[in-house]
Each structure stands twice: as structure tokens, then as C-alpha cells.
Copies of this chain bind each other. A is one copy, B any other.
Amino acid sequence: MVGRTHGVHAEPTTFGLKAALWHAEAGRNLERLRRAKEAVRVGKISGAVGTFAHVDPDVEEEVCRELGLVPEPVSTQVVQRDRHAEFVGALALLAASLEKIALEIRNLQRTEVLEAEEPFAEGQTGSSAMPHKRNPVGAEQVCGLARLVRANALAALEDVALWHERDISHSSVERVILPDSTSLVDYMLHQMDRILAGLQVYPARMRENLDRTHGLIFSQRVLLALTERGLPRQRAYELVQRNAMRAWRERRSFHELLAADPDVTATLSPAALGSCFDAAWYLRNVDAVYKRLGLVP
């Protein structure tokens, strides 16, 4: 499929590479979440101001052990809120990564692109009179919910600076942002799981879109092939440019225009020219990425 930068066609890539990117980022988020859960897996029974005036540290240690918590080494009336801010921050980052996947799917599902669609339950809209009208509402929802978790992360950061041995301003905040953020992210994960598990992918359309620029995404390789065969760079550039401009204006095959240009064919054989338009060549190193990620042996 075509790779796009700035929303504009650039060079061939593969859908698998997009998925590998999500996979690697999911791994980073899992690690962040694991650490963030560890950060808040603490308990304290150190009294009104953290001095253990009325309860010995031993009690704290034993109770925490029974609850599967780590005793907070030093506390005030409460466990310090940098821990909770790290936790909600990790959720917000995870939500942002889900937003990225959802945004990709929304972009791929645009009528003009239509390389993928989120799963669509039969009869979901009740209207088959507009079979093209499948809206990526699940992915759009994930994008919206990420904004909420992000906002919550900010409120969590404002909760860190409490007065002295504790003020209770953080409490009303946490009663909203902790249940909201955890349940929102849980829902987003389920939503994204459903979307990815049932994702409709359209390879034929991908191949078709790959040719939307009439082959211009291969122009750099033609340029290189010409210069490698001895043409001065300036001259090679002129040849590529005049055919590229014409292909774009007239919506004609760049490959065919070049093949019909004697100035080009004088240097490049049909086979050599044809090999410039081989998308597979661009993808020869993709497997190496999967190997790096441990996705293939």
C-alpha cells in the first residue's frame, strides 16, 4: 500500500508495518502501565501526619503484605500524589496511542481512501440504501475519549502539591478522575480490540490507491537509475521532471510516458525502467523490521 506523509502519497509501505508500529507502541504502553501500577501499589498506616505515633511501622508492613501492597517508605496523612499522577499519566499516554490507531483507521475508512473499515454489524444502520455509508463511529469515539483521559492527567498533576501533611483538595478530583480514567481506558481497549479483531482490510483498493499518482511515487528511483547509468544528474532530472509533470497534468502513466520518451529509453532498457516501478523493491527490508520486533523468527 502507499505510505503517506502529510496526507500525501510518498512511497510504498505495507499494512503490516503499520500494525507492527502499533504493536511496538503497545509494548511500550504495557511497560508504562506495569510501572504505573507498581507506582500506586503502596499502602500506609502511619497515622494522621505520617509519624507512626499510634501504630508501629510493623503493623503497616504486615497489613500491606496481606493486601499485596508495598508499605510507603515515608508518607504524610496520605500516600504522595506523584504516584497517582504517574498512574493517570500512563493511562493518558495509552489513550493517546489508541487515539493514534483510531485516527489511522478513520483516515483509511474515508470514502476516497477506503483501504480498511472498522467492523460493521449487519443492520447496524438499518439502511442498505447507502451501502457506502459505513461510519467509523467506534474509532471516532476512541479519539474523543482520549481527550478526556488526557484532561484527567492534567488534573492529577495539579493534585501533587498538597499543603503540609495533607489537604483534602485532591480527594474530590480523584473521585472523578480515577474511576473515569480507568473505566474509559478499559472501554477504549475493548472498543479497539473489537475494531482490530474485526477490521475489514481491502488489499485490492490498496493496490489501486498505490497508483493514484500514476506512478510518480517511483520517480526518485527512475532518477537514480538514469544517473547510475551515466547520465549527468541535471540531465536525468530534466527527463524525469518533464515526464512527471506531464503524467500529473494529463493523468497518464508515468511509466508509459517514460517508456515512450526516446531520451529515456536511450539510457534505460525496458526491463531496467520496469524494475523502477516495482513496489516490492521498496519493501525488501520490511521483514528485517519484523525480525527486530521478534514477530518473525
Contact = CB atoms under 8 A, between A and B. Distances in A.
B20 A74 contact: yes
A160 interface: yes
Contacts of A111: 2, 4, 7-9, 212-213
Total copies of the chain: 4
Interface string A39-72: 1000000111111110011000000000000010
Interface stretch (A21-29, A194-202, A259-267, A268-276): A21-29
Contacts of A124: none
Given A129-B220, A176-B180, A51 B13 contact: yes
A63 to B, nearest CB: 15
Contacts of A46: 289
Given A93-B89, A164-B104, A165-B10, A148 B136 contact: no
Interface string A166-205: 1111111100110010000000000000000000000000
Given A9-B111, A163-B103, A168 B141 contact: yes
Interface string A212-244: 110011011001000000000000010011001
A35 B75 CA distance: 24
Main secondary structure of the interface of A (DSSP, over half): helix
A62 to B, nearest CB: 14
Interface in A97-142: 97, 99-100, 102-104, 106-107, 109-113, 128-137, 140-141
A7 B107 contact: yes
17 contacts: A6-B167, A7-B107, A7-B167, A9-B133, A11-B51, A57-B285, A73-B292, A86-B93, A89-B92, A107-B164, A128-B245, A130-B220, A131-B245, A147-B169, A150-B157, A154-B154, A176-B180
Given A28-B39, A73-B293, 5 more contacts: A7-B136, A11-B48, A89-B153, A107-B164, A144-B170
